[in-house]
Structure 1
Amino acid sequence: MITVLCIDDETDIRKLLVEELEDAGLNTLEAANGAEGLETILNAWPDIVICDVSMPVMNGHELLAEIQINHPEFSNTPFIMLTAMADKENTLAGLRGGADDYLTKPIDLDLLMAKISGCIMRIENNRKTGQGL
């Protein structure tokens, strides 16, 4: 079964994401900031990460850079960034840093679930063919 890690310092948003993902039949993990998220990634190996950009301790860009540089075994894990900052520069920074997608808040749950479905399809295809993601 697919496991999705939701990283957001806003408890209400994180709980909404978890509820939506669990209603779709997915396993979920939660973290309140990038540092907790990194620990969860290293210990639980989630299949997909949904991560807020602006958080205390370690923000989403810092977390993604940490994964890309120091934990290459996770560098192909689908990483969807969420942010209230809808400007082009933040979007480009996230995508250039290795994010697979970038969604703005308030979150369009239908759009998020469509993006998650695409990630799941790629993960399952890679598992069938024996390829890593």
Structure 2
Amino acid sequence: MPLILCVEDDIPIRRLIVDLLEADGHETIEAGDGQDGMEAVFEHKPDLVLLDVMMPVMDGFEVLTVLREKHPKFADMPIIFLTALASREHVIAGKELGADDYITKPIDTEMLIATVNSRLIQIARIKARKQMQLFRLYGALM
């Protein structure tokens, strides 16, 4: 079962998101700020991260930048911003930093679940393709 990390400093919102994901059959872990979120990524290696932008200690833009630039082993891990920063400029900035998607608050729960499931399916296809390539390479070497 894929593991989803929810990094959100607002506890009621974080609980809502986690409850929605778990009701949809997902396994979740939580973090309340960017620093704890980074530590959770390193410790648990989630399959997908839902990341707020405006948080104490380390904001979501910083977390995304560090993960994408300094930790290439997490390059394929989908990171979805879930934030109140809804301006066109913020969405563009988030995507230019490497966010895989950008969902604005207030949360459209159906959109959130559809986006998460879509990204998880995409990751499963990428992993299957990589395994097939390794299998073919192994077969060619034998």
Q: Fold match, TM over 0.5?
A: yes
Note the aligned Cα RMSD (angstroms). 1.0
Instruction: Please report how far the alpha carbon of residue 75 of structure 1 lies from its aligned counterpart in structure 2 after TM superposition.
Output: 1.8
**Shift in alpha-carbon separation, 1:24–1:13, aligned structure 2, 3 A:** same
Specify the SS of the correspondent of 1:50: strand
CA distance in 2, matches of 1:118, 1:87: 24
Gaps (5+ residues) in structure 1? none
| Paired position in structure 2 for 1:119 | 119
Q: Does 1:86 align with 2:89?
A: no
* Amino acid of the structure 2 residue aligned with 1:65: T
Aligned residue number for residue 49 of structure 1: 49
Q: Which amino acid letter does the alignment assign opposite residue 2 of structure 2?
A: I
The residue type equivalent to 1:8 in the other structure is E
1:106 is matched with which residue?
106
Give the ranges of 4+ consecutive aligned residues of structure 1 lying more than 2 Å apart after TM superposition. Answer: 126-129
Distance (Å, rounded) in 2 between the aligned partners of 1:68 and 1:124: 20
CA-CA distance at 1:127 after TM superposition: 2.9
Q: What count of residue pairs does the alignment treat as equivalent?
A: 131
Give the alignment's TM-score, normalised by structure 2.
Answer: 0.89
* TM-score, normalisation: structure 1: 0.95
Q: Which of these two proteins has the greater Rg computed from alpha carbons?
A: 2
Q: What is the match of residue 17 of structure 1?
A: 17
Matched, 1:3 2:3: yes
The equivalences for 1:26-65 within 5 A come to: 26-65=26-65
Structure 2 residues not aligned, in runs of 5+: 133-142
Aligned-residue sequence identity (percent) comes to 41
1:8-54 Cα shifts (integer Å, max 9, x gaps): 00000101010000011110010001100000000100000000000
